[in-house]
Amino acid sequence: MRALLSGNEAVARGAYESGVRVAAAYPGTPSTEIVQEFSRYEGVYAEWAPNEKVAFEVGIGASLAGVRALVAMKHVGLNVASDPFMTFAYTGVNRGFLLVCADDPGMHSSQNEQDNRYFARFAQVPLLEPSSSQEAKEMVGVGLTLSERFDTPSMLRLTTRISHSKGVVRLGKLKDVPPGRFARDLKKYVMIPGYARFRHPLVLERVERLRAYSNRTALNRVEPGDKRLGIISSGVAYQYAKEVMPGASFLKLGLTFPLPDKKIREFASRVKRLLVVEELEPFLEEQILAMGLPVEGKRFFPRLDELSPEIVAEGLRKAGVLKRQSAKRIEVPASATLPRPPVMCPGCPHRGLFYALNQMKGIVLSDIGCYTLSVLPPLQAIDSCICMGASISMAHGVAKAVEKAGLQEERPVFAVIGDSTFLHSGVTGLMDVAYNNGNVNVIILDNRTTAMTGGQDHPGTGRTLQGEETRQVNLRKLAESLGIDRVRVVDPYDLAGTLEVLKEEVSVRGPSLIITNRPCVMMEKFDPSLVLCVDPELCEGCGMCFRLGCPAIAPGEEIPSRKGAKTRRKAVIDATLCRGCAVCEQLCKQGAISKAAK
C-alpha cells in the first residue's frame, strides 16, 4: 500500500507501526499534526498536554511503565521541555522513547529559528534527520530501536519543509511490541547527586557506542559520483543539493549525532573538495572541522532562513563548483507586488478588545497566539512578544521597575495572553503578580481554543484531543485561588462596555484580571442574519471602520473631493466574509453600517 503523507503524518504512521502506545504534545506549528494524526489509530493513547514539559514527562512515565512513547513539539517547545530532557538523557529508558522536534527555519510561524540539532548534542542523545516522508516514517522505528538498544531517549528532528511536504510512503504492518512492566531501579531513575554521578559516565560511554553504530548504519550512506566534489548533507538540504548537483559524490547523513567519524574521514579521503550543505547553523561543519578535515560550508551557504534549490545552487556557484547559470526569471515591477500580511479573521473577538485597549494608551506586553497579529497596522496595539507565557511576568517586571525605580511613567501596564497560552505557562506569572502584588492588568483573551495552530482543545475547553467531554479549568476560580481579587469578564464585541471595565481596573492599584468571553469565530457556526452592510447614502468615507483592519471591509466608490483634499472612499462590506461582530457598526458615526438582512 502506498499513500501520500506529510512528514508529520508519516511520523504518526511510523509510531503506530512501531508499537508506540502513548503520545503527548502541545500544539505548535509545524509539529501539530503529529499527535493529532496518531490519535486516530486504534489502540493508542494520545493527548494534548498543557505544555511541552508536561508532554515530555508524560512520555517518560509511559516509557518507565513499559510501553513505547512519543512526544512531539516545535523547536521552541523543547526549550520548555529541556529540563526533563537533559536529565532523562542520564537515566535512560525502560521502553523506547522518541522525542520528535520540528524546527522552523525561515520562521514561517515562529519567534526564532534556533537549530535544535544542538539540543541532541547538548543532551548527548542520538539525532535522526529525515529528508522525506518515507524516511520520516522509517526513522521513527529506528529511533525507538536505538532508544531501547542504547538505553537513551532518541530525537527525531524535522523541519517545516519535511513536516509539511507530502511524499509517497509505503505503508507497513503493525509491529508487535509486547509491553514491559514498571521498572523499579533506584540508581537508574532517582537522580540524586550520588546516583546521577554514576549515570553521567554511562552517557559518555553510550555516545561512543552510538558513534560506532553511526559508522556502521546505512542511515549514513555514501552515494558515489564525481570524485572532484564531495557533498555532506542531511535533511531537506540533501534533496536540494542532490537536485542541483546530481553528479557529485554524496555522503547522505541520516544519523547526525553522534557523527560517523570514520565514514566521514574515508569519504573526505576519496574526494578532492569537501562541502557541507546544511540548513541554519554549521552543526555538521564545525564537528567535521574539529576532526581536522578541510571542509567548507557556511562560507557559501547562509546561516539564515530556510534553504531552497536556488539558494543551494547560488552557494555552489560561489564555491566555483556549479558553472550552470540560473534560469532566466520573469521580473515583476516592485510596485506590482502586493504586501499581504496575515490578519485577524473577520469577526475575530481580539479586534474589538485591541481597539478598546488602544484607547487606554498603556504599555502592553503580549504573548504568543493569533492576537500577536495586533502588532501590525492599523492596530499596532502591543509592545512585546518573547515566548509562551512571558507576557504576565514581563508586565510584572515592568510594573515593579516603574514603581521601585520611581520612573516617570504614567501609562498603565497590561499583559495580554490567550487562554491556551495562559494555561501553558501564564499561570505561574499570574501567581507571581498576586504573590508580589504587581500593579498589572492581565487580560486573558479567552476564545476557548488554541486558535493559531488551527483550533486544538486544551484544559480550558472541556474537551480532550479525541473530542470527548472532560473537566474544564475555571479561569475565574483559578485566578481567585491564586489570590487575584479583581476578576472581570468583558464582551469584546461591546466596545463601550469593554473600555469602561478597562478604565475601572486601571484606576484600582494592584492586580486585576480581565477575561474576554467570545469564542474564536472559526469555531462558531456562521449566522447569515448577522451580516452587515454599508448604506452608501450615509457613508461619508471617514475611514473610521478601516482602522479596525478587518478583511471584510474594503474601500469602494470614490467620493468627489474638493481641490487639494485627500480622496475619500466609501466603505464596502464583503457579505461573504463578514461575520457580523458589529464592532465597525459601533465606530460608524454616520450610522451607515447595519444588518444586511432587514
Partner 1 sequence: MQKSRERLHNILIVGVGGQGVILASEILSDVAMRSGYDVKKSEVHGMAQRGGIVSSHVRYGPQVLSPLIPMGEVDVLLSFEMAEALRWLAFLSPKGRVIASRQRIVPPTVSTGLARYPEEAEAILDRSTRGPILVNALEMAEELGNPRAVNTILLGVTSRLLELPLPAWRRSITERVPPAARELNLRAFDRGRSLV
Query: In this complex, which beta carbon is closest to partner 1, that of residue 223 or of residue 500?
Result: 223
CB of 113 to partner 1, least distance (A): 14
CB of 173 to partner 1, least distance (A): 21
Query: In this complex, which beta carbon is closest to partner 1, that of residue 211 or of residue 351?
Result: 351
CB of 112 to partner 1, least distance (A): 15
Query: In this complex, which beta carbon is closest to partner 1, that of residue 32 or of residue 214?
Result: 32
Quote the distance between the C-alpha of residue 390 and its chain's center. 15
Query: In this complex, which beta carbon is closest to partner 1, that of residue 280 or of residue 553?
Result: 553
CB of 420 to partner 1, least distance (A): 15
CB of 549 to partner 1, least distance (A): 4
List the end-to-end C-alpha distance of the chain, in Å, as a whole number.
56
CB of 209 to partner 1, least distance (A): 33
Distance CA 355, CA 545 (A): 11
Quote the distance between the C-alpha of residue 403 and its chain's center. 35
Amino acid at 290: A
Environment class of 461 (CB within 10 Å of its CB; exposed 0-12, middle 13-18, buried 19+): buried
Query: In this complex, which beta carbon is closest to partner 1, that of residue 35 or of residue 452?
Result: 452
Residues that bind partner 1 (CB under 8 A): 2, 4, 29-30, 108-109, 132, 160-161, 164-168, 236, 239-240, 242-244, 308-310, 313, 326-333, 335-345, 370, 373, 377-378, 452-454, 543, 546-547, 549-551, 553-555, 569, 571, 576
Query: In this complex, which beta carbon is closest to partner 1, that of residue 237 or of residue 442?
Result: 237
Query: In this complex, which beta carbon is closest to partner 1, that of residue 29 or of residue 456?
Result: 29
The single residue listed with the C-alpha cell 458589529 is: 582
Q: Is 95 helix (H, G, I), strand (E, B) or coil?
A: coil
C-alpha cell at 526: 456562521
CB of 543 to partner 1, least distance (A): 8
**DSSP symbols for 26-48:** ---TTTTHHHHHHTTSTT-EEEE
Nearest residue to 446 via CA among 385, 506, 370: 370
Query: In this complex, which beta carbon is closest to partner 1, that of residue 82 or of residue 308?
Result: 308
CB of 326 to partner 1, least distance (A): 7
Distance CA 371, CA 380 (A): 11
H/E element, 59: helix 52-65
Query: In this complex, which beta carbon is closest to partner 1, that of residue 335 or of residue 507?
Result: 335
Query: In this complex, which beta carbon is closest to partner 1, that of residue 408 or of residue 576?
Result: 576
Sign of CA dihedral 32, 34, 35, 40: positive
C-alpha cell at 555: 474601500
The DSSP 8-state label assigned to residue 518 in this structure reads P
* Biggest CA pair distance of the chain: 86
Q: Is 521 helix (H, G, I), strand (E, B) or coil?
A: helix
The answer to whether 519 and 447 have CB atoms below 8 angstroms apart is yes
Query: In this complex, which beta carbon is closest to partner 1, that of residue 81 or of residue 244?
Result: 244
Query: In this complex, which beta carbon is closest to partner 1, that of residue 179 or of residue 342?
Result: 342
Cβ contacts of 221 within 8 Å, gap of 6 or more: 251, 252, 254
CB of 518 to partner 1, least distance (A): 17
CB of 292 to partner 1, least distance (A): 32
Distance CA 346, CA 32 (A): 24
C-alpha cell at 191: 537522580
CB of 242 to partner 1, least distance (A): 5
Distance CA 277, CA 264 (A): 14
Buried b (16+ CB within 10 A) or exposed e, 475-491: beebbeebebeebbebe
Angle value at C-alpha 94, between 92 and 97, nearest 5 degrees: 70
CB of 498 to partner 1, least distance (A): 21
Quote the distance between the C-alpha of residue 546 and its chain's center. 31
CB of 133 to partner 1, least distance (A): 8
CB of 222 to partner 1, least distance (A): 17
Query: Within 13 Å and on the Cβ side, how many CA atoms surround 35?
Result: 36
Helix spans in 229-308 (H): 235-244, 261-270, 283-290
Cβ contacts of 591 within 8 Å, gap of 6 or more: 538
**What is the crossing angle of helices 349-359 and 495-507, to 10°?**
50
Pairing mode, if any, of strands 295-296 and 363-366? unpaired
CB of 309 to partner 1, least distance (A): 4
Distance CA 245, CA 238 (A): 10
Helix spans in 271-389 (H): 283-290, 309-318, 349-359
H/E element, 18: none
Length of the chain measured in residues: 598
Query: In this complex, which beta carbon is closest to partner 1, that of residue 413 or of residue 588?
Result: 588
Query: In this complex, which beta carbon is closest to partner 1, that of residue 29 or of residue 79?
Result: 29
Query: In this complex, which beta carbon is closest to partner 1, that of residue 21 or of residue 579?
Result: 579
